Amino acid sequence: MFYDYNIDSTLVALAQQAEQDALPHFQHIDDVCLYASAKVLKAFQNNNLATTDFFEESGYGYSDAGREKLEKIYAEIFDAEDALVRAQIMSGAHALSLTFFGLLKHGDTLLSISGEPYDSLKSIIGITGNSRNSLIANGINYQQIELIDDDFDTTAIQAALQKQYIKVLTIQRSRGYSHRKSLCIDKIEKICKLIKQLSPKTIIVVDNCYGEFVETREPTHVGADLVVGSLMKNLGGGVAKTGGYIVGKAEFINDVAERFSAPGIGKDIGANLNQLFSFFKGLYSAPSVVASSLKTMIFASRLLELLGYNVAPKYNEKRTDIIQTIQLGTREKLIAFCQGIQKGAPIESFAVPEAGFTPGYPHEEIMASGSFISGSTIELSCDGPIIPPYTAFLQGGITYEYGKLGILIALNQIIKSNN
C-alpha cells in the first residue's frame, strides 16, 4: 500500500483508523480554505495583477508597481490600511524586531499579555542575553502578564492599563515552544475590545506566525493594529524563498517602514530582487498549503493518540495555528521521531539529525527539516528541546499525501528503533 516503504502492518491498520476518525474534521478545513482562496483571488483581481508585475527591479527600487500591488493585496486580505511585505525582512523575528523598534521610543512601555514570548524575541526584548541593542538596553520598559488557564488574565490586564500608559501591547497567537494552548481569534477579539475601551491609544501588535488562514478571520479583523509574520511559514505557501510581512494601520506601518529603511524614506525604497513572482505565487497557494498542513496535523494527532501518546491539540479540537505537539516521553523516542521525519523528507533525507546546542537556546535541541526552502516550517518539519516530557513540535506539510507519508515513515522509525 505504501509502495516501497515497508511500513509496519499494525501501523498501517492504525493509520487507516486515524484517517477515518480525522476525515469528518477535514470539512471545516476545506470550508476555510475555500473562503481564504476567494479572498486571495478577489484581492489579485481588484489590484489588476499582471505578468508585468513580476519584473525584477534592482538598485533603489523606487516606484515598483509590482511591489506596491503585493502590499495592497496583503492589506486587502487582512482588511487593513497598509502593509510592508519585503524580501529584505529576513524572518519573523526580524519583522517583529522592526515593529517594536519602529513603534517604541526611550521611556515607552511594551506589555506582553500572552506570557513569555517566543524564544528569539527574548533577546530582542532583552530578557535574555546581554545585547546592548535590545529594547530594554534602549530604555524601553517591558512588562509581562501570564495567561491563566490558556486565556488572558483580564483583571491583571485591566489593572496594568489603568495604572499607566502602555504604548504597545503584544499578543502571541501561536503557542511557540510552550505548553500553553494557542489563542484563537474569538479570545483575541474579546481582549482587543477591552483594551480599546480602557486605553484607545494603546497599539495592539499580534505575532501571527503560524496562524494565517487557519480561521476565516485574522487579528486585524478583531481589533489588532498591526499583525506580523514570516513568509517561511503560512503566507509564503512553501514558495516564497525569504521574507516577512507587517499589515495594519497606515500610520504604524509607516513607523515600521522608517525603521526598516530610514526616516523620511519608509516604504519608497527596496529592490524586489526578483522575489515578487514567488511572493505572489506563494500567497496564491497559501490557503491550500495551510489546509494540507492542518490535515497532516489532524491525522498525526489522531494516529499518535491511538498509539498512546499525549497530543495537543487533539484531532477533534478547534485549531488556530498549524502546530501539533506530541509528548514522546523519552529522549530516544524524540530523537527517533525527528530522525524519521528527516528520513521522510524530499531534501536531505539521507541526513541524520542529532541533538545539540543552538545559540540562544537553553537546552539541547533536535530539529528535522528536509525542506526546499532552508529552515522553512510550512514544509513538514519537527523539533523539540531534549527535556522531559520530550515534546516534539510538529508542523507543516505542503500536501496532505506527503505529510501523511512523512508521519508514517517517522513512526516506522520509532518502531524499528525499539526492536
Ligand X SMILES: *Cc1c(COP(=O)(O)O)cnc(C)c1O
Closest approach, Cβ 96 to ligand X, in A, equals 6
Distance CA 245, CA 239 (A): 15
Nearer residue to ligand X within complex by CB, 14 or 214: 214
* Residue with Cβ nearer ligand X (209 or 253): 209
Output the smallest distance, CB 201 to ligand X, in A.
Answer: 25
Alpha-carbon distance of 267 to 260, in angstroms, equals 8
Q: Which residues bind ligand X (CB under 6 A)?
A: 91-93, 118, 120, 172, 174, 176, 207, 209-210, 230, 232
- Shortest spacing between CB 233 and ligand X, in angstroms: 6
Find the shortest distance in angstroms from Cβ 395 to ligand X.
9
Whole-number minimum distance, CB 319 to ligand X, in Å?
14
Closest distance of CB 211 from ligand X, Å = 8
**Backbone phi and psi for residue 30, each to the nearest 5 degrees, phi listed first:** -65, -35
In angstroms and rounded to an integer, the radius of gyration of the C-alpha atoms of the chain is 21
Angle at 291 between CA 287 and CA 297, to 5 degrees: 145
Mutual angle of helices 26-46 and 276-306, in 10-degree steps: 170
Question: Least distance to ligand X from the beta carbon of 359, Å?
Answer: 14
| Residue 82: exposure state from Cβ atoms within 10 A (0-12, 13-18, ≥19) | buried
User: How close are the terminal C-alpha atoms of the chain, in Å?
Assistant: 23
Q: Which is nearer to ligand X, 60 or 357 (CB)?
A: 357
**How far is residue 4 from each of residues 1, 31, 106, 242, 387, measured CA to CA in Å?**
9, 34, 61, 34, 34
Closest CB to ligand X among residues 180, 333: 180
Report the distance separating Cα 387 and Cα 332, nearest Å. 11
44 or 213, CB closer to ligand X? 213
Cβ proximity to ligand X, 91 vs 275, nearer residue: 91
Report the b/e string of 122-161 with b at 16+ CB within 10 A.
bbbbbbbeeeeebbeeeebbbebbebeeeebbeeebeebb
How many Cβ atoms from other residues are within 10 Å of residue 330's Cβ?
11
Rounded CA separation 155/188 (Å) = 15
- Is 173 or 404 the residue whose CB approaches ligand X more closely? 173
